[in-house]
Amino acid sequence: MKLFDMTGAPNPRRVRVFLAEKGIDVEKVQIDIMGGENLQSNYLAINPRGVLPTVQLDDGSIIDETSAICRYFEETNPEPALYGQDAVSKAQIESWIRQIEGDAFAPTADVLRNSNPAFENRSIPGTDNTPQVPALADRGTDRVKAFYARLDNHLAGSDYVVGENYSAADITAMCAIDFAEYVGIAVPKALGNITKWRNRVSSRPSAQA
């Protein structure tokens, strides 16, 4: 089994943190997105979409999309449970992952891909000849700031994103916020609930994966 990875990229990091929490060791192959290696023929022969992360199973099967990869490992290695213990917690975790992906990850990627010269003419993941749209970067910044305010309010009185147990929702939120800050969208200092939560989740050994 191989994980096609890029150190520093947020979605591959989500998988690495998830695997670290599970205690699973997988061979990792580094692919340079910034340099366009994911759009070269060698990688496209593995994943024609040109996206990361991607897992190649021992039988050659391919799984891409971060949540799908994590779901695979949750099914094959159920402990510790990171997608919930019962119907309610599983649904809540899934809901928050979808919200974080849509309201934080996606707009942050819009900011990066529509403002960073490295993505000129490839502003959509896995593609060539897609010009940047600066207005999407401005809108993405506003969307992430709105998400910060909502998450801070949600975290009032709660140690984790869903209930009292660390989960895949915390992994997703941690990686999304670290990604946003890397892009230049800082968490306002006034949002103390996010700060306390980040200190808690970032102190876990898996956060360094």
User: How confident is the model at residue 209, as a pLDDT?
Assistant: 94
Considering the entire predicted model, what is its pTM?
Answer: 0.92
| Beta pairing partners, 2 | 27, 56
Cβ atoms of 74 and 94 closer than 8 Å: no
User: How confident is the model at residue 133, as a pLDDT?
Assistant: 87
Q: Digits of tens for pLDDT over the chain (209 positions)?
A: 999 999 999 999 999 999 999 999 999 999 999 899 999 999 999 999 999 999 999 999 999 999 999 999 999 999 999 999 999 999 999 999 999 999 999 999 999 889 888 788 777 776 677 888 888 999 999 999 999 999 999 999 899 999 999 999 999 999 999 999 999 999 999 999 999 999 999 999 999 99
* Closest to 94 measured CA to CA, from 83, 103, 106, 105: 83
Q: Determine the Cα–Cα distance for residues 108 and 202; give it in Å rounded to an integer.
A: 20
Cβ atoms of 43 and 4 closer than 8 Å: yes
* Closest to 177 measured CA to CA, from 188, 165, 185: 185
Cβ atoms of 112 and 119 closer than 8 Å: yes
User: How confident is the model at residue 34, as a pLDDT?
Assistant: 86
Q: Is 157 left (phi over 0), alpha (psi -120 to 50) or beta?
A: left
- Could you tell me the domains of the chain? 2-76 (3.40.30.10), 87-208 (1.20.1050.10)
Alpha-carbon torsion 157, 162, 164, 168, what sign? negative
| Beta pairing partners, 64 | 54
User: How confident is the model at residue 126, as a pLDDT?
Assistant: 67
Q: Is the peptide bond before 188 cis (omega within 30 degrees of 0)?
A: no
The residues near 66 (Cβ < 8 Å, ≥ 6 apart) are 11, 12, 14, 15, 53
Q: Which two tokens stand for residue 119?
A: 């993505």
Report how far Cα 77 is from the mean position of its chain's Cα atoms.
20
User: How confident is the model at residue 121, as a pLDDT?
Assistant: 75
User: How confident is the model at residue 199, as a pLDDT?
Assistant: 97
User: How confident is the model at residue 120, as a pLDDT?
Assistant: 81
User: How confident is the model at residue 24, as a pLDDT?
Assistant: 98
